[in-house]
Structure 1
């Protein structure tokens, strides 16, 4: 393929590359660029960093970064493919970039196909690579379960362009619809799992009912929050109630295709509107609703709060609810329903003080609600606790589960058992750094400027892939805010002493720090 000396792909955001002088730091991007150089950096981290750099139009900087990584780690063809996808947008570098993309695909089928396909799809038909672009994108779709869901939007967008050039008009129109571009073709590229409309509200995933383990189901993508189902010998136990009655009815309809058993219990992991809004649709005669003792206080605080972004919910839906549980849990309890043992464990974790974990010891599964979120508490409500998050992560670790079921699809997919095992000591490290900064009188801006990355993440790639939870600008800020407004305790830095429950006993909590051995995930 021969092009003129200034040939390059257009900027997909219809603007020049961002100037090098910026008005503020992009701390998350900086942290991810450091983490990408660590051993065994996960593909998910690489993709997240790529999206950050594309969004910032930092093509030359991105090319330099990934080109260096490709040179340093020639056994990672993904780095070569990403570098070439950015190089293709630089003047006079298109031919060389396409050659590198071909080399990356030959070395490692998989994600390099995606980067080559979306790049080739932007070339004119005369370049002779449009059929190759279609083949790459169809390859990705044929193996869609092996690729991050959000990439499909970009795949269908690239297919639409390639099909148009090949005169396949109907195929192009179908691809645009699947990319979400049928009504707004001029939108910039979106590479994301979630979708939102005024009518339907926000959704994290395509709608569906997924069997996560034998007899354990999650209704995802029907609303903002997930609804879990546990199938017992005699009934269904439902975990959380979703955002609206319409969502809950849709989830129950899907579940009824599998089981006609009655709903005996609805257990609420916490009181946020996206987990309680569909309760009326799930109640049947004899259904018992269970929540933690702090539930009522949490719901009242939420009802009084202003929610600035209304599209969490469908048009016309209200975030305010009046829910009265039948039973409140203040201490660990064990119940058996239809031969299935459930342990109800109250926690004061991460997002809210009314968290309730549901542990199925016979199946090594824990429903954890939203105890792990990118923010400590919803960003528009005064709630959440760094201390509670650390204590709850320790509680979960002590349960030794095989599967964690969260309240939203990205949390279940990302914050796995392996990830939390590395994330907890990393956050403990960060917490101690913030405590020291507060004791030294440093400002929040100083703390953010540090952009501290715990060393433990280097050898825990499952934990190191997450942002912003691990690179943690948000956690640094929120930990600082909470610590600054807490009263001083005897240790002088504001961490409260509490109890973390395991089984039927209580053990005092304390600050702990733990590191990973080389080549292992933190046990």
Structure 2
């Protein structure tokens, strides 16, 4: 497969550039690619009011893209790094997936930058040439959605929780600034949130129907999961973490209730938002529940003892430190959210 790239540079600093994929313009042969490139209008490529300069369209043989593994029939997962976003990983720190039906493909989460989304797009194209009809975003956090514009450009319908659009618009400016600083300006070029979010309860890919479940406030205010009954595979988003310490940005009690509901559903395979590409239900749920219950118990003890938040936060959840990576990065924030929630019960 051949793809078309453009050179994307910052208007304010033309020395900061990145080659950006034009998703949806791929062709099976170089000759077809060159013909399609000749028909492109450079002005039409430029992003309206974006502060970018787009030029120099070129054809090349498409690289393989992100590594993926088939965890069930027609279901593929890319395993993100258990790490903070940075220039080396370009925000590739979340698990991403896609499901291939008879008629089309659905993508689940898009990565932490447009560059990661492009690499996921290439991986999909190395597996199938079927149209990508849907992109499902499991929640609002930037490591899962900043690659979304790649798939929107290619014609995919972006699906999310009913709260996702509002949550994204409330946070997008801060998220874009933070991730650009962490990933670096060059690696982050072209990343935007210029897409709209629709709400659906199921997706028919042809011979395979995916059930989308919107959850009450739990890990976040916008958690959405994907259930493929045909393979008993459950994309949990960040309702399930592996290795990476869970991150609480919603409701502690709501998250514990969500975990109980997932156990009731009883999937054979769970794809967590971080860590292993696929897990059994028992192995996926138990460690997260243990961590959250420890937060709850320690917070209630601190409140019963009359501790102020500043004194309670350093000790809440501390006994779980050896069980999780990135504990020191996120636990204090989790403890603060838990204290604030339970204080006002």
Deviation at 1:416, TM superposition (A): 6.2
Structure number with the bigger relative contact order (C-alpha 8 A, sep ≥ 6) is: 2
Gaps of 5+ in 1: 1-205, 378-382, 455-463, 496-523
Provide TM-score, normalisation by structure 1.
0.44
Within 1, Cα distance between the matches of 2:170 and 2:280?
27
Secondary structure (helix, strand or coil) at the match of 1:390 reads: helix
Partner of 1:279: 148
Closer, same or farther in 2 for the Cα pair 1:314/1:339, shift >3 Å?
farther
Partner of 1:494: 344
Provide TM-score, normalisation by structure 2.
0.64
Query: Which of 139, 142, 167 is residue 270 of structure 1 equivalent to?
Result: 139
Query: Which of 424, 431, 434 is residue 299 of structure 2 equivalent to?
Result: 434
Query: Which of 218, 235, 243 is residue 104 of structure 2 equivalent to?
Result: 235
Partner of 1:169: none
Query: Which of 481, 484, 494 is residue 336 of structure 2 equivalent to?
Result: 481
Within 1, Cα distance between the matches of 2:149 and 2:331?
39
Deviation at 1:263, TM superposition (A): 0.9
Within 1, Cα distance between the matches of 2:106 and 2:132?
6
In the TM superposition, 1:269-308 aligns within 5 A as 269-283=138-152, 287-305=156-174, 307=178
In the TM superposition, 1:36-435 aligns within 5 A as 207-220=66-79, 223-283=92-152, 287-305=156-174, 307=178, 310-312=181-183, 315=186, 317=188, 321-325=193-197, 327-329=198-200, 333-348=201-216, 350-372=218-240, 374-377=245-248, 383-408=249-274, 410=275, 412=277, 417-425=282-290, 427-435=292-300
CA RMSD of aligned residues (A): 3.5
Contact 1:364 1:403 in 2 (8 A): yes
Closer, same or farther in 2 for the Cα pair 1:427/1:227, shift >3 Å?
closer
Closer, same or farther in 2 for the Cα pair 1:274/1:474, shift >3 Å?
closer
Query: Where is the strand percentage greater, Structure 1 or Structure 2?
Result: 2
Deviation at 1:218, TM superposition (A): 1.8
Within 2, Cα distance between the matches of 1:363 and 1:438?
45
Partner of 2:35: none
Query: Where is the helix percentage greater, Structure 1 or Structure 2?
Result: 1
Deviation at 1:349, TM superposition (A): 5.3
Contact 1:243 1:277 in 2 (8 A): yes
Gaps of 5+ in 2: 1-64, 81-88
Deviation at 1:276, TM superposition (A): 2.3
Query: Which structure would you say has the larger Rg?
Result: 1
Closer, same or farther in 2 for the Cα pair 1:304/1:433, shift >3 Å?
same
Within 1, Cα distance between the matches of 2:225 and 2:149?
22
Deviation at 1:401, TM superposition (A): 1.2
Deviation at 1:412, TM superposition (A): 3.6
Closer, same or farther in 2 for the Cα pair 1:340/1:418, shift >3 Å?
same
Partner of 1:37: none
